[in-house]
Amino acid sequence: MHHFKYRGDELYCEDVSIEKIADAVGTPFYLYSAATLERHYRAFEDALKTTDHLICYSVKANSNLAILSQFARLGSGFDIVSGGELFRALKSGGDPKKIVFSGVGKTREEIREALAAGILMFNVESLQELHEIDSVAAAAGKTAPVAFRVNPDVDPKTHPYISTGLKQNKFGIPVVQALAAYRTAQSLPHVTPIGVDCHIGSQLTEIAPFVDALTRVKDLVAQLRDDGFEIRYLDLGGGLGITYDEEEPPHPTKYGRELIENTVGLGCTLILEPGRVIVGNAGIMVTRVLYTKQNLGKKFVIVDAGMNDLLRPSLYQAYHRLQAVRRRITEMVLADVVGPICESGDFLAQDREIQPYEKGDLMAVMSVGAYGFAMASNYNTRPRVPEVLVSDDRYYMIRRRETLAELIAAEEVPDFLRNP
């Protein structure tokens, strides 16, 4: 459920005309609905209200400060994967005691900053990382709370680029090696194991892989308890999918019910790290048609948004529904929707049945709230686009469009190149 709806033939975000925003801020731009963000967050909270839990929004999905601030006000914790995301989470008012630090490549400086902030725990992905955390904690005179990310070798049945729980993936340690890893942690003076972490992938549309992974992780928790470990947290990651096209992912209510039923008596606080499922359908990208053309019968709609603005179609062959901001009742046409980037892989859709667009028309690219702006770049020296947040009948610029001067502000030309 989201708040992008037609009124007559004009597309609105909540109570604001999208065309009005486009005229004011220019195109392309990202647009988010505050009501949708809150609705999706509360769906997770309500699904788990009968059990001890902590929602840690996955910052990598969309890290805009305004969006993080909205989640912090709702009581969310944060799942981070870099020092930069820690900085953003704290700047947004996030409680450090509700922050978990994931990721395979934490640097000493990032570990030091997280220890200083007093985060809830580190999700450790290798024995070398464990020893690094112990070393940094010793130098700081602290003890680091940790959980190992265990890899249960469960097929999430998703795109291979966003699968994380198979033995061939880079994430975590094999579940069969976990007990030995925890014993190593127990021998170190400046780390304390307090949890178990497991995340099998993203855009999952079935519950069975979650339950399969949970079964294997529960066995590990029991083993650890028998071995004398006080495991207080079970972090089950995120990964619940959304509807891009015709997918029918389970509702958080059903997901939560399965998790609760399968963790009765476990005695752990459940940590979930939803990202895409909360923000994905809460955001769109609005782009304007620059030109249309035909090459020997092949139709192209050329828009002002490119793969630097939205990478997912080029990277994952991802499907995003396209909706006209002003729709016309007419026959559909088969066309490619492409951007201005000098790459053949620069497209938003290929061989798609769409309304016949004309020069100047506005197009909404749906379901881009997750991994949309967050993956944007300056390729072809293109400024990153604005982000706009709508709440009720008002809109707010939450990131202005970059300027050309800002694109080169960090660059320097050495003196020997200045004077011929």
Spell out the domain ranges in the chain: 4-31+280-407, 103-272
Report, as ranges of residue numbers, the positions in the chain whose pLDDT lies below 70. Answer: 1, 155-171, 420
Q: Would you tell me how many other CB atoms lie within 10 Å of the CB of residue 141?
A: 8
What per-residue confidence (pLDDT) applies to 191?
A: 98
Q: Which residues contact 358 (CB under 8 A, 6 or more apart)?
A: 289, 292
What per-residue confidence (pLDDT) applies to 209?
A: 81
Instruction: Please answer whether residues 305 and 28 qualify as being in contact, where contact means their C-beta atoms are separated by less than 8 angstroms.
Output: yes
Return the closest-CA partner of residue 230 out of 271, 273, 185.
Answer: 185
Instruction: Please answer whether residues 172 and 163 qualify as being in contact, where contact means their C-beta atoms are separated by less than 8 angstroms.
Output: no
Quote the crossing angle between the two packed helices 178-187 and 127-140, to the nearest 10°: 20
What per-residue confidence (pLDDT) applies to 161?
A: 38
* Rounded CA Rg of the chain: 23
Return the closest-CA partner of residue 288 out of 18, 5, 33, 34.
Answer: 18
Tell me, letter by letter, the H, E, C secondary structure of 322-383: EEECECCCCCCEEEEEECCCCCCCCEEEEEEEECCCCCCCEEEECCCCCCCHHHCCCCCCCC
What per-residue confidence (pLDDT) applies to 165?
A: 38
What pTM, to 2 d.p., does this model score? 0.93
Instruction: Round to whole Å and give the CA distance between 305 and 320.
Output: 14
Catalytic residue list: 342
Backbone conformation region of residue 351, classed left if phi is above 0, alpha if psi is from -120 to 50, else beta = left
What per-residue confidence (pLDDT) applies to 169?
A: 53
Percent of the chain with pLDDT over 90: 81
First to last CA, the chain: 62
Tokens at 204, concatenated: 């999952």
Pairing of strands 322-324, 362-365: antiparallel
- In the chain, the amino acid numbered 278 is I
Instruction: Please answer whether residues 193 and 231 qualify as being in contact, where contact means their C-beta atoms are separated by less than 8 angstroms.
Output: yes
Query: Do 4-31+280-407 and 103-272 have matching folds?
Result: no
Pairing of strands 144-151, 99-101: unpaired
Domain 103-272 fold: TIM Barrel (3.20.20)
Give the H or E element holding residue 233. strand 233-235
What per-residue confidence (pLDDT) applies to 46?
A: 95
Question: Has domain 4-31+280-407 been given CATH number 2.40.37.10?
Answer: yes
CA distances from 297 to 16, 332, 354 (A): 38, 15, 16
